[in-house]
Amino acid sequence: MRPDGVVLRAQGLTKQYRRVLAVDGVDITVGTGERVALLGPNGAGKTTTLLMLLGVVTPDHGWVEIAGHRLPRERSAAAANVGFAAGYLPLPERLRVSEFLRMFGHLYGLVDPEPQIRLGLERFRITELADAMGNELSSGQRTLVGIIKATLHRPRLLILDEPTASLDPDVALRVRTGLADLCAADGTALLVTSHDMVEVERLCQRVVFISSGRVVADGAPAAVAASFGRDDLEGVFLHLASQPREK
C-alpha cells in the first residue's frame, strides 16, 4: 500500500488523434476505499482517459500509476491490482455461473477460488444463481456476475464502465450496496463511468467531470452541482453537453 493511501494516480494525461486533442492534461487520483465517478458528455475525452488508465492506450504525455506501479513499464504488476467490468460485456451462455467464476478465479491465480466465489455471490445477493447457465440470466444478473468476476482476486482498484445501465431499480440497488460494502470491507478503490447521474449521486463520494478533454470539476456531488449553479449532477451534465467542444 502506498503511504499516502492513493491507489490510482494519473497526472498530465494528454492524447491527440490527428487534429483532435482528445485529452488535455487530465489529473485523477483515487484513494483506498474511495468511490469516484469519471463523468462527461460524449466527445469529452472520458473514454480515451479510461483507456489510458487501463493501459490500453499510451498517453502522448503524462503518466499513470496503479498501486505504486507505473504504466507502461510495470503494466503486468499494475494489471494484477485491477479489476474491470462493464454492463455490456457478454458471459458464456453454456457455462454455469459457478463454473465461469471458478475459471476466472484460476486465471487470476487463486489456488482455491471457492471462498471468494461464495463471498461475491453473497455480497451481491445472488447465491441462488450459482448453478444457473449463462443463457438463463437477465441482463442485470449478468452485470452482477461480471462484477463478482472482476473482484475475485481482491483488486486494489476496480474500474466499472456503465455498471448500472438499463438495470431495474432492485438490481441497481444490489450493485450499489454490494460495491459500497466491497469498498468499506476490503478498501477497494472504485472508479465508475456512467451516464446515470442519479445512480452516481447514490453511489459515489466524489465526481470528476471532463469537458473538452480537461477536468472542469472534482469534488463531492453536491459541491460540484453547486459550483455550476445547478441542483444536481444531471443539471451539470446537461450544461456541459450543451457547450461546443473547444478546439
Q: Determine the pLDDT at residue 247.
A: 59
CATH topology of domain 6-241: Rossmann fold (3.40.50)
pLDDT band at 2 (very low <50, low <70, confident <90, very high): very low
C-alpha cell at 68: 505504486
* Dihedral angle sign, alpha carbons of residues 47, 51, 53, 59: negative
pTM value?
Answer: 0.93
What are the φ/ψ torsions at residue 27 (nearest 5 degrees)? Answer: -115, 135
pLDDT band at 39 (very low <50, low <70, confident <90, very high): very high
Q: Determine the pLDDT at residue 166.
A: 74
Distance CA 215, CA 234 (A): 17
Quick: pLDDT tens for 165-201.
Answer: 778 889 999 999 999 999 999 999 999 999 999 999 9
Q: Determine the pLDDT at residue 139.
A: 87
Can you give the residue ranges of every domain in the chain?
6-241
- From residue 56, give the alpha-carbon distance in Å to each of 47, 52, 172, 198: 11, 6, 28, 29
Distance CA 137, CA 198 (A): 25
Q: Determine the pLDDT at residue 3.
A: 40
Whether 229 shows a pLDDT value over 70: the answer reads yes
Q: Determine the pLDDT at residue 245.
A: 73
**Mean pLDDT within 215-238:** 97
**Average pLDDT in the chain:** 93
Asked if 86 and 146 count as a contact pair (C-beta separation under 8 A), the reply is yes
